[in-house]
Structure 1
Amino acid sequence: MREKGEVVLEVRNMCKNFGSTIALNHVDFQIRKGEIRGLIGENGSGKSTVSSIIAGMQPATDGEMFYHGNPWKPKTMLEAAKAGIGMIVQEAGTIENITVAENIFLGNAADFLKGPFVNRKAMTKAAEKALTDCGIDYINASYPTRLLDMQKRKLIEIAKVMSLDPEILIVDETTTALSQRGRDILYKIMHRLADAGKSVLIISHDMEEMMTHCDVLTILRDGEIIDNLEKEDFEDSKIKKLMVGRDIQGNYYRNDNDTCSDEIVLKANYITTLNDLMCFNLELHKGEILGIGGLSDCGMHALGRALYGLDEIIDGEVILTETNTVVKDSIIAFQHGMGYVSKNRDSESLELMAPVKENIQSTGYWKNIWKKPLIDFKKEKKYVTDQVENLSIKCRNINQPVRFLSGGNKQKVVFGKWIAADSSILILDCPTRGVDVGVKAAMYQLMYEMKKQGKAIIMISEELPELIGMSDRLLIMRDGAVSGEFYRKDGLNEHDLINYMI
């Protein structure tokens, strides 16, 4: 284990209130030079709140911070970044309609001024260097950012933060948006910083990731520090118990070999999209959990969008077999009992400015709540409250805007709106992204219950343990086509699956 040096940042007695909600309650911890410290806890435990205060996104209600022994109270993220504290935020942190280079140097373009104008050639060259220094040599710095997918945009954010040479790098739930290639790039950066005597503060729900890469774990629950564990004390079940205050069994996936119906509910016949899928065939059965896996650029995320009618199919068709309906667009999919959970949560699955109530009711409102010519407010409230309680969504009340929820609680709102709508076919793209182990277990149980009710689920995931643990049948994709098909009853293992991905 590398030597850890002097304390570089200290948090003392920090409190943060949002109205009557206590997000942080007298939190104390330190970050040392040469250390990779993990913050871990359930959704809403205060991890992102404390890190955002350190990085200048918002002020604390009470308490104090010290950076290099001096009082630290940054007013903005830019002020913090220039002082050496950079943060890769959990959600989207790029602007679509400017170039990669402009995103990297957003707020720091003064170095490229040539009179009253920006020297874009110099900026692009500097952005290329920033990307290359991070090991990201496959993104064109002159490209408009809107042309890039979610994980490449996240890599741009990493390059932006690293271009300022941070002393403390804060990584907030970043790896959930990255492919394995992207994760490896980030891990190398983290360890390079720590080896150079700098510091990393990482937030993640991936237990294996945290135990592998962190030197120390700080565990939060309900806004309070529960414990600080050194690497030699890391133990999976112990950490989970400290997080949730109760025992969680290590294996929370399915342990059955239940079969599904022979009845086909959805078919994709030789579908081809503009860039991602080529003559793709798929059959989904009633009561089946069909897993779709592969590397991030294999086409699996595009498949989910095409099946739900969100991306144009230039050849072939998607058919709902019970009514022989062709899914030409998402409206038809929705009207015929299909639901879709996007990987891009904030931009495609939620209305962030709207309250929890309106987000959850949005998918079932038309058939469950509306009573012409008036809204049944009592039924509306019960419809929403049932999901908030069943999924343990942490919010002040159902009228709280979704933008103020933690990432995991946002994901639960997305999941809840489709459960409430009683969809018969669900397409779930990375459904447990940013969700803690306790809620994952509850979601997996819900998926299994839906399977037993005869609902059909397509689960797209970049996490092999999740796919192996939950799927009845598993399709591995490569280059927009199926490279392997596997069945739960025959046994599944990661080694076999990886061979079909590469």
Structure 2
Amino acid sequence: MSNKLLLHAEKIDKSFGPTHAVNEVSLDFYEGEIHALIGENGSGKSTFTNMLTGILPIGSGTFTLDGGDVAPKNQVDANHHGIAIVVQETGTLSGLTVAENMFLGDEDQFARGGIKDSAAMNRKAQELLDAYGLGHIKATSVIDNYDFEDRKLVEIVKSTWFDPKVLVIDETTTALSQSGRQKLFEVMRHVRDLGHCVIFISHDMGEVLDMSDRISILRDGVFITTVERGEVDEDRLKTLMVGREMDGHYYRTDFPDYAKEAPGEVAVSLRGVSVPGEIDDVSFDLHHGEILGIGGLSECGMHEVGKAIFGASFDRAGEVSLADGTQVKDINTAIDHSIAYASKDRDNESLLINDTIEDNITLPSMRDMGLVLSDRHLYEFADTYAKLMSTKMVSVKQFVSALSGGNKQKVVLARWLGKQSDILVLDSPTRGIDIKVKAAIYALLEQMRAEGKAILIISEEIMELIGMCDRIFVMKDGTINGELTRDPDLSEQDLIAKMV
């Protein structure tokens, strides 16, 4: 590597109780590079970068940036040292404006005589948003007015406006549509071209190989190796991550003969479902024994469809009905009638983030367990399904907030496996999941399909839709713009043509 050394990590170490999350990791990062940091869920990637960026205190070891030791006390302190991060989950605060979120902890630069000049702060924020091509986001608006993707884009602007020497991108692409990802990639390349360093964490091996100059692998908190991008392919990276050869099989290999096979009974029907500003007159049937996919570009409305089925939409019109005629108008009715829902925004909509794994998994199933609930029964129930999903944890008594993003997703899925739901609405089900567990989830979905369960997958991953679904609805501008059926010749371009 001919570039100058920018950041050195010397024997960085961190434990949480008996869990050794990062085990004396030493790494070098250079000027003018995008350096990928990869590994399975719980391998220590986020813990390592959270110490670098002040989210977690350093256990032991030293970070050296530009020849000087750095140990940020918090994210604002890290920013002042030239280090920024865009986290996997939501990193903005509700109730504040876009501008207030962008300059949180750094408002003093807009103070005049000890009084904050809000107008100057708003002007600067809007100037930055416009420069990033995000003029549709208004600096003076409350951040809650924007969806998950736009909030992530605000975080990207927030993390880069001060020209950081080191920018950490922690699984951010999983929260973005294809257009959002392209904006992020432009930012990453810009930071690299300025002579700075991007540390890129992703489970998408294609993205890693496309975007990175060098790639470092962690496994169980231990540094394995660093490789140049041109030295490896996806299969080699997978082997380095999991410590053994992967067979490369993710998706289904069957292709149903629709001319001969009758569909299963209708599990849930949507008729004229509309949500103001989100979806308009959406109608379809989801059958038992099928995996139905919904895809589309950002703001096409697909994520709202999942909420509508689960009774979680505001101002919904139209009908969501089950085979027995039950009308699903609220979440309690959905759960009582065996509908499961996993939201894309898991921290805010799918999990009790400040509660235990046990409580999260057992919550929807408690009414099925009888009048007397013993602590032992609840523990064993949660432990069974957490382990079925290979959740990396100390025990089910651990708080969900302490888990990595991928392990949080496993808890969400474990909850509904325990509930034995017949209708599963899964929005971005493999977001932030490592390759080994992703393959296991796909196998589980195949099994549930064979058992007659009705499964709806909402996904921004085109190959996930093509590889797993019997039928695919493509949405555009809040309506269904096309239907495709499972076929070995179905291509990404077939879906994209109906998205744009």
Task: Pick one of 419, 422, 441 that aligns with 2:420.
Answer: 422
In structure 2, the partner of 1:344 is: 345
Q: Which moved more, 1:386-395 or 1:449-458?
A: 386-395
Tell me the percent identity: 41
Task: Pick one of 276, 279, 285 that aligns with 2:278.
Answer: 276
Shift of 1:6: 0.9
In structure 2, the partner of 1:356 is: 357
Shift of 1:231: 1.4
Shift of 1:135: 3.0
Shift of 1:116: 4.1
Please list every run of at least 4 consecutive aligned residues from structure 1 whose deviation after the TM superposition is greater than 6 angstroms: none
Task: Pick one of 309, 322, 331 that aligns with 1:320.
Answer: 322
CA deviation profile, 1:312-352 (whole Å, cap 9, x unmatched): 3543211101x110111111111100000000100011111
Report the Cα distance in structure 2 between the residues aligned to 1:41 and 1:319, rounded to whole angstroms.
42
Amino acid across the alignment from 2:206: E
Report the Cα distance in structure 2 between the residues aligned to 1:65 and 1:167, rounded to whole angstroms.
14
Shift of 1:262: 3.4
Report the Cα distance in structure 1 between the residues aligned to 2:316 and 2:405, rounded to whole angstroms.
35
Task: Pick one of 179, 183, 186 that aligns with 2:184.
Answer: 186
Amino acid across the alignment from 1:283: D
CA deviation profile, 1:227-267 (whole Å, cap 9, x unmatched): 11101112111100110112212231111124673311110
Report the Cα distance in structure 1 between the residues aligned to 2:202 and 2:78, rounded to whole angstroms.
22
Amino acid across the alignment from 1:400: Q
CA contact (8 A) 2:264 2:287 kept: yes
Q: Which moved more, 1:275-284 or 1:35-44?
A: 275-284
In structure 1, the partner of 2:498 is: 500
Q: How does 1:92-131 map to 2 (within 5 A)?
A: 92-131=90-129
CA deviation profile, 1:427-448 (whole Å, cap 9, x unmatched): 0000111111111001111111
CA contact (8 A) 1:289 1:472 kept: yes
Q: Which moved more, 1:457-466 or 1:161-170?
A: 161-170
CA contact (8 A) 1:260 1:285 kept: no
Report the Cα distance in structure 2 between the residues aligned to 1:47 and 1:345, rounded to whole angstroms.
20
CA contact (8 A) 2:177 2:297 kept: yes
Report the Cα distance in structure 1 between the residues aligned to 2:88 and 2:274, rounded to whole angstroms.
33
TM-score (norm 2): 0.97
SS of equivalent to 1:165: coil
Amino acid across the alignment from 1:134: Y
In structure 1, the partner of 2:301 is: 299
SS of equivalent to 1:253: coil
Gaps of 5+ in 2: none
Task: Pick one of 399, 402, 408 that aligns with 1:410.
Answer: 408
Amino acid across the alignment from 1:284: L
Shift of 1:132: 2.5
Shift of 1:274: 1.4
Report the Cα distance in structure 2 between the residues aligned to 1:489 and 1:165, rounded to whole angstroms.
47
In structure 2, the partner of 1:71 is: 69
Task: Pick one of 30, 55, 58 that aligns with 1:57.
Answer: 55
Q: Which moved more, 1:240-249 or 1:217-226?
A: 240-249
In structure 2, the partner of 1:25 is: 23
Amino acid across the alignment from 1:153: R
In structure 2, the partner of 1:213 is: 211
Q: Which moved more, 1:63-72 or 1:492-501?
A: 63-72
CA contact (8 A) 1:4 1:34 kept: no
Distance 1:119 1:315, change over 3 A: same
Q: How does 1:368-447 map to 2 (within 5 A)?
A: 369=369, 371-372=370-371, 374-447=372-445
Amino acid across the alignment from 1:201: I
SS of equivalent to 1:279: strand
SS of equivalent to 1:129: helix
Gaps of 5+ in 1: none
Report the Cα distance in structure 1 between the residues aligned to 2:152 and 2:402, rounded to whole angstroms.
21
Report the Cα distance in structure 2 between the residues aligned to 1:94 and 1:176, rounded to whole angstroms.
17
Shift of 1:489: 4.0
Report the Cα distance in structure 2 between the residues aligned to 1:361 and 1:260, rounded to whole angstroms.
36
Root-mean-square deviation over aligned CA pairs: 1.3
CA contact (8 A) 2:249 2:439 kept: no
Report the Cα distance in structure 2 between the residues aligned to 1:52 and 1:211, rounded to whole angstroms.
23
Distance 1:228 1:297, change over 3 A: same
Shift of 1:136: 2.2
Shift of 1:62: 1.8
SS of equivalent to 1:12: strand
In structure 1, the partner of 2:6 is: 8
SS of equivalent to 1:364: helix
CA contact (8 A) 1:100 1:144 kept: yes
Shift of 1:454: 0.3
Report the Cα distance in structure 1 between the residues aligned to 2:452 and 2:461, rounded to whole angstroms.
25
